[in-house]
Amino acid sequence: MKKAWILGVLLGLAVPGWVMAASGDDAIEYRQGLFRALKWNFSDMGAMIQERKPFDAARFAQEADRLAALAPMLGEGFIKGSEKSETVPTRAASELWYQRDRFDQLMQQLEEKTAALAEAAKHEDRDGLRPYFGQVAQACKACHDRYRERD
């Protein structure tokens, strides 16, 4: 026990400043980075679904897996202290912070729909995937309509 405690202290001293607790600005950058990663993958999938690009089942499945992995990480980026910032612009709507249960439900829906899409991508073809993709798009939009401010 004592050894573990001492080791903890030593490691603590060795940890650089940026490893310390996240600030509000860090949280805003974190969630925006995740949203951009979502969009990167989602746009490519959309191009395949809409037949603007040839359908590549393996790539689509990989991107669907990424969405399903990213979705459960997003909620963590909406911490206290990240409502507004002097330095990092955010489009999170002010309602989000006092309607947190509703917001979390919409996030939960995104998790469920991206998981369903990733599962379907293992066996469905493009036409079979279209409704699953549409449900994910709907989950993005449902939340943006309520909780993301316009540009």
Which parts are annotated binding residues?
140, 143-144
Distance from first CA to last CA of the chain, Å, rounded?
Answer: 53
- Work out which of 103, 115, 117, 132 binds ligand HEC, going by CB under 6 A: 103
- Site residue total, ligand HEC (CB under 6 A): 22
Task: Using alpha carbons, select from 50, 35, 42, 4 the residue that is nearest to residue 148.
Answer: 35
CA nearest neighbour of 118 among 132, 137, 135: 132
Which residue is listed with tokens 């026990």? 1
Of 8-16, 31-39, 56-64, 122-130, the segment contacting ligand HEC by CB under 6 A is 31-39
- Residue 10: CB minimum distance to ligand HEC, A: 37
Picking from 83, 61, 77, the residue whose alpha carbon sits closest to that of residue 26 is 77
Strand, helix or coil for residue 52: coil
Does position 102 interact with ligand HEC (CB under 6 A)? The reply is no
CB 106 within 8 A of CB 113: no
Selected range binding ligand HEC among 14-22, 30-38, 47-55, 119-127, rule: CB under 6 A: 30-38
Residues in contact with ligand HEC by the rule CB under 6 A: 28, 31-32, 35-36, 38-39, 42, 90-92, 103, 106-107, 110, 136, 139-140, 143-144, 147-148
